[in-house]
Amino acid sequence: MSVNDRLGRLLFIVPYVAHRDGVSLDELASKTGVTTSQIAADLALLSMVGRPPLTPDHLIDLYVEDDIVYVELDQSLSRPLRLTHEEARALVLGAKLVGSLGGLGEQLQNVLDKILKVLNPVDREIVQSLSERVGVWQDSGEPPQAVVQLRRAVEEHREVGIEYYSVSSDRQKRYRLQPLALITHSGSEYLVALDVDADGHEKLFRLDRMAEVKILPGRFEPPAMLDLERFRTQRLYFGENATKAEVHFAKEAARDVCELFGDSEIINEADGSIRVRLSTSSPAWLARWVLPFGDAAEVVGPPEQRAYISRLCREAALAYGRDP
Amino acid sequence: MSATRTERLLNLLTLLLNTRRPISLREIREHEEFNAYQTGDPKSGERAFERDKAALIELGVPLRWIPPEDEDDDDGLGGYVIDRNRYFLPELGLKPAELALLSIAGAAAAALEGFPGRATVIRALAKLGFDVDETGTFASLAHAPLRDGHMVEQIGAHLQILHDAVAHRLTLALGYRARIGELTQRQVDPYGLYYRQGVWYLVGHCHLRNAERTFHLGRCENVELVYPDRRTAQFDVPGDFNLSAHVHARPWEMPQHPPFKVVIRLAERLVPAIVEIFGRRAIVKASEKGTTVELLVSNRSALILAVLPHGAAAEVIEPSDVRAEIREVYERLVRHYDGSKLLRQEVSA
C-alpha cells in the first residue's frame, strides 16, 4: 500500500457513510477494494481523530451496529476530496484499453470529458496532454457498422447471423448467435456468444474476422449470471481443443521467440537454438505464429501439425511458381 | 505510513478544514496532538511538519500558505489554509450507466499486470460513485495482458514510472537491451507510451542516438527518473510528434524505404478476416476473378513475414520481385519439411 493509499481511503469512508443512512462493512470493503478487517481497523483509527483539541465534540463520531457503520459527526469531511490528476490519469489509461467497442469508447470519452472539466486547470492540462500521448493499438477509424449492430444486439438480446473466418478450421462459416458481451483483449475486440446451432455452446468470435452481421428477428433470454472476469486469462482464447505443439527455432530467432512465447516450456539446445512446447488451437493457428519466422522455425510435432504446415508451404511454393 | 502519522495527518487536515483563517505553525504546535512538530531541535519539528504537508498535497489537498502581510494575520507569521472550494469533489451528475462505463475503464487499468496504481483507480471510482446510488451494467470488459508473463511485476513497476514521466515530461534513465546488441545505458525524453498486442512500448528522444527511438518495455532492465526530486517539465514534445503513427501502423507500414504498392489475391475464405490480417487501410477490390487487397508498403521484409502464414490463400501477385522472394522462402521451407526432391517431382508433374 502506498504512503497515501490508506489516508485517501479514510477521507472517502467518512463522507460516504455520513452521506447515507448507514453502510455495511461489506459495502465499504467492496467500494474501497480492501478486506472488512482492514475497514474495521480504519474505523478504529477514525474514531480517534478529529479537530484538535480532541474533546468529544471535536472527534469524528462514528459507530458500528450489526455490521452497519454510521457517522454522526463528520467534522467537515462532508464530501470526498476532489479527484487528483493521478486518479484521472488512471481512468484515462483504462479508457484507452477499452478502445472503441462499438461506440462504447466514444461514450466513455464523453464521461471523461465531464470529469476533466472539474479538475483544476493544471491537472486538467496534465491529463489531457497525457491522453494524447498514451495509446493502445487498434485499427484506427470509425467502428464499422457491423460492430455497432453487434452492440445493439447485445443490449437488446437479439439473435444475429454472421459470416466468419474460423482460424481453427481455416474456413469461412455462417453462424447463428445469441450475443452476450463485447470484450477487448490485447487490443483486439471479441464477441462472447452462444452458438445456436451448436446446442447453445459459448464461443468467442473476433470482430475483425466477421464479414457480415445481420440482426435476426429472434430475441433470447440471456443467462442470469455472466461472469466476464474469467476472460481476463489467455487460456480461454486458445479454445477448448488446445493441444501442445513442439517447434524448433534456430539460434537467430531464439531471443524473439522467448519474448513471444515467454510462458511456454522452452528447452535450450547446446548450439543456441531452442525447442518450444506451446499451446495451439489448430494447425492453422500454429502456422500463423511459426511461419513469420521463415526457415528459422520448424514444427517438430505432433505429426499432423507438421504435415499441415509442410502442405501449406508446398502448395504456396507451387502457386508462386505459376504465372499470377 | 504508521497509524500515528496517519492519525496526525487526519487531525491536521480536520483542523485546517474547520478553520476559515490561516493558522500558523506556531498555533498548530500548541496542540498536544502535534507534539511531533515540537521537538527539542525546532528544525527537526519543522521538517516533520513539511513532510506531513507534502503528504497532504500529494493526496490532492489544496493546502496553501498565506503570507504574513495579510491584514487578518494577528501575529505576523503567516499561516496555512485549505481552500474548501477546491477540496470537495463537486457534484458531477453522473448517471448510473456512465459510472458503469467508468468502472469498465477502471477495472481495465486496475487489472494491468504488475501496475501498482490499482489503489488509485479504486479510489477514483469510489469518489465518482459518491452521488450515484445504483450502478448500471454494460456487458463489456477490457483486458490488456502482458506477453512477457514472467516479467509482469517489473514491467508494471516500470509502467508506473513511465506513465508519470510522460505525464510530467521528465527525462528517464534506461538500461536497454536492444533486440540485437548489448545492454546500453540511455537517457530518454519520453514522448509517448503505447500498448500493442501484449507489449508496452515507449517512444522518445534517445540522447545516446540523438534521434527518436521506440523501446520495448520487456527489454528495459532498469527505468529511473534522471532527476527524481524535480517535477517540472524537462523537455518539450516536438509539435509534429504523432503517437498515432506509431500505435496504429502495421509492420509493413513502418518506414524503411519509399512506399510501393503491393497487390494480394485472397482466397474467399479469408475475406471476412481482411481487417484482422491487413487492417482498415487496405483497399479491397472484388471482381469476378476474386478478391484482391492493395497495400502501401514501406517495409518489404515485414510484408513478406505477414503473408507467409496464409500460403496460397493470400498470394502476392504484384510486384514480381516480392513475389519471387516469397517463392524462395516457401521453397526453402519445403526443403526443410519435405526435402527438395519431393518439390521438384511435383513441379515437373
> Is residue A80 assigned to a domain?
no
> Is residue B31 assigned to a domain?
yes
Residues in chain B with CB shorter than 8 Å from the CB of A114 are 92-94, 98
Same structural domain for residues B205 and B278? Answer: no
Torsion angle of the four alpha carbons B24, B27, B28, B30, in this order, in degrees rounded to the nearest 10: 160
Average pLDDT value over all residues in chain B? 86
Q: Mutate which of B5, B7, B11, B19 to disrupt the A interface (most A C-beta within 10 Å)?
A: B11
C-beta atoms of A155 and B273 within 8 A:
no
Same structural domain for residues B78 and B47? Answer: yes
Same structural domain for residues B160 and B208? Answer: yes
Phi, psi of A297 (to 5 degrees): -130, 140
Residue with cell 517535477: B231
Give the cell for residue A293: 519466422
C-beta atoms of B1 and A12 within 8 A:
no
Give the cell for residue A20: 447515507
Same structural domain for residues A162 and A220? Answer: yes
Parallel/antiparallel/unpaired status of strands B140-143 and A171-185: parallel
CA distance B176 to chain A (A): 14
CA distance B40 to chain A (A): 22
Residues in chain A with CB shorter than 8 Å from the CB of B306 are 292
The pLDDT of residue B315 is above 80:
yes
Q: Which of A79, A115, A319 sits opposite B88 (nearest CB)?
A: A79
C-beta atoms of A94 and B237 within 8 A:
no
Q: Mutate which of B120, B152, B196, B252 to disrupt the A interface (most A C-beta within 10 Å)?
A: B120
C-beta atoms of B323 and A324 within 8 A:
yes
Give the CATH number of the domain where residue A61 resides.
Answer: 1.10.10
Long-range contact pairs involving A49-55 (C-beta distance under 8 Å, separation at least 24): A49/B7, A49/B10, A49/B11, A49/B14, A50/A75, A50/B11, A50/B14, A51/A75, A51/A76, A51/B11, A51/B14, A51/B15, A51/B18, A52/B11, A52/B15, A52/B31, A52/B32, A52/B33, A52/B34, A53/B31, A53/B32, A53/B33, A54/B11, A54/B33
Phi, psi of A136 (to 5 degrees): -130, 130
**A178/B77: higher pLDDT:** A178
Same structural domain for residues A247 and A317? Answer: yes
Residues in chain B with CB shorter than 8 Å from the CB of A1 are 119
pLDDT at B348 (0 to 100): 46
- Contact status of B290 with chain A (Cβ, < 8 Å): no
C-beta atoms of B127 and A260 within 8 A:
no
Please state, in angstroms and rounded to a whole number, the distance separating the CA atoms of residues B292 and B299: 20
Q: Which amino acid is at A118?
A: V
Same structural domain for residues B201 and B287? Answer: no
Give the CATH number of the domain where residue B276 resides.
Answer: 3.30.70
Please state, in angstroms and rounded to a whole number, the distance separating the CA atoms of residues B218 and A270: 25
Number of compact structural domains in chain B:
3
CA distance A199 to chain B (A): 22
Residues in chain B with CB shorter than 8 Å from the CB of A112 are 102
Same structural domain for residues B226 and B269? Answer: no
Same structural domain for residues B217 and B285? Answer: no
Same structural domain for residues B175 and B242? Answer: yes
> Is residue B134 assigned to a domain?
no
> Is residue B182 assigned to a domain?
yes
> Is residue A140 assigned to a domain?
no
Same structural domain for residues B242 and B259? Answer: no
Give the CATH number of the domain where residue B159 resides.
Answer: 2.30.30
Please state, in angstroms and rounded to a whole number, the distance separating the CA atoms of residues B96 and B134: 6
Range of the domain at B26: 3-87
Q: Which of A81, A139, A319 sits opposite B60 (nearest CB)?
A: A81
**B224/B110: higher pLDDT:** B224
Give the CATH number of the domain where residue A217 resides.
Answer: 2.30.30.100
Is residue A192 classed exposed, middle or buried when 0-12, 13-18 and 19+ CB atoms within 10 A define those classes?
buried
Q: What is the ipTM of this complex?
A: 0.81
Is residue A319 classed exposed, middle or buried when 0-12, 13-18 and 19+ CB atoms within 10 A define those classes?
middle
In the three-class reduction of DSSP (H, G, I as helix; E, B as strand; rest coil), residue B341 is classed as: helix
The pLDDT of residue A5 is above 60:
yes
> Is residue B133 assigned to a domain?
no
The pLDDT of residue B73 is above 70:
no
User: Quick one: how far is CA A46 from the chain centroid?
Assistant: 36
User: CB–CB of A111/B102 below 8 Å?
Assistant: yes
> Is residue B130 assigned to a domain?
no
Give the cell for residue A98: 477499452
The last residue of one of the domains, among B200, B225, B247, is: B247
C-beta atoms of B195 and A75 within 8 A:
no
Of residues B149, B118, B159, B37, the one with CA closest to residue A5: B118
> Is residue A306 assigned to a domain?
yes
Give the CATH number of the domain where residue B23 resides.
Answer: 1.10.10
Give the cell for residue B304: 513478406
State the SS3 of chain A. CCCCHHHHHHHHHHHHHHCCCCEEHHHHHHHHCCCHHHHHHHHHHHCCCECCCCCHHHECEEEEECCEEEEEECCCCCCCECCCHHHHHHHHHHHHHHCCCCCHHHHHHHHHHHHHHCCCHHHHHHHHHHHHHEEECCCCCCCCHHHHHHHHHHHHCEEEEEEEEECCCCEEEEEEEEEEEEEEECCEEEEEEEEHHHCCEEEEEEHHHEEEEEEEEEECCCCCCCCHHHHCCCHHHHCCCCEEEEEEECHHHHHHHHHHCCCCEEEECCCCCEEEEEEECCHHHHHHHHHHHHHHEEEEECHHHHHHHHHHHHHHHHHHHCCC
* Average pLDDT for A109-121: 89
C-beta atoms of B311 and A315 within 8 A:
yes
Please state, in angstroms and rounded to a whole number, the distance separating the CA atoms of residues B42 and B20: 27
pLDDT at B347 (0 to 100): 44
Cis ω for the linkage preceding A53 (within 30 of 0): yes
> Is residue A79 assigned to a domain?
no
C-beta atoms of B305 and A99 within 8 A:
no
Of residues A50, A118, A32, the one with CA closest to residue A83: A118
The last residue of one of the domains, among B40, B66, B87, is: B87
Please state, in angstroms and rounded to a whole number, the distance separating the CA atoms of residues A127 and A109: 13
User: CB–CB of A84/A123 below 8 Å?
Assistant: yes
Of residues B144, B306, B222, the one with CA closest to residue A188: B144
- The share of chain B scoring above pLDDT 90, in percent, equals 44
Residues facing B142 on adjacent strands:
A184
Average pLDDT value over all residues in chain A? 87
The pLDDT of residue A19 is above 80:
yes
Detail the DSSP E strand segments found in B100-234: 140-143, 172-177, 183-196, 199-206, 211-216, 220-225
The two most distant CA atoms of chain A are separated, in Å, by 94
**B110/B174: higher pLDDT:** B174
Residues in chain B with CB shorter than 8 Å from the CB of A84 are 59-60
- Contact status of B102 with chain A (Cβ, < 8 Å): yes
Range of the domain at A178: 145-231
Give the cell for residue B57: 498535497
pLDDT tens per residue across span A207-235: 888 888 999 998 999 888 888 888 887 66
Same structural domain for residues B257 and B335? Answer: yes
C-beta atoms of A320 and B116 within 8 A:
no
Of residues B245, B244, B249, B233, the one with CA closest to residue B166: B233
Phi, psi of B204 (to 5 degrees): -170, 180
> Is residue A138 assigned to a domain?
no
Same structural domain for residues A227 and A185? Answer: yes
C-beta atoms of B60 and A1 within 8 A:
no
* Segment among A34-38, A159-163, B273-277 with least mean pLDDT: B273-277
> Is residue A266 assigned to a domain?
yes
Spell B5-14 as b/e; 16+ CB within 10 A means b. bbbbbbbbbb
Please state, in angstroms and rounded to a whole number, the distance separating the CA atoms of residues B161 and B224: 7
> Is residue B99 assigned to a domain?
no
User: CB–CB of B317/B264 below 8 Å?
Assistant: yes
Same structural domain for residues B240 and B158? Answer: yes
Same structural domain for residues B256 and B335? Answer: yes
Q: Which of A45, A120, A141 sits opposite B280 (nearest CB)?
A: A141
pLDDT at B246 (0 to 100): 82
pLDDT at A45 (0 to 100): 94
Same structural domain for residues B180 and B237? Answer: yes
Give the CATH number of the domain where residue A268 resides.
Answer: 3.30.70
* Segment among A14-23, A80-89, A253-262, B299-308 with least mean pLDDT: A253-262
CA distance B113 to chain A (A): 11
Give the cell for residue B276: 484482422
Compute CA distances B206 → B164, B231, B236, whole Å: 18, 20, 14
Same structural domain for residues A10 and A48? Answer: yes
Same structural domain for residues A65 and A113? Answer: no
pLDDT at A232 (0 to 100): 80
The last residue of one of the domains, among B87, B108, B130, is: B87
Provide the 10 A C-beta neighbour count for residue B22: 20
pLDDT band at B342 (very low <50, low <70, confident <90, very high): very low
> Is residue A194 assigned to a domain?
yes
Nearest-Cα residue of chain B relative to residue A3:
B1
pLDDT at B341 (0 to 100): 39
Same structural domain for residues A54 and A103? Answer: no
Same structural domain for residues A112 and A154? Answer: no
Same structural domain for residues A160 and A225? Answer: yes
> Is residue A237 assigned to a domain?
no
C-beta atoms of B148 and A259 within 8 A:
yes
User: CB–CB of B200/B163 below 8 Å?
Assistant: no
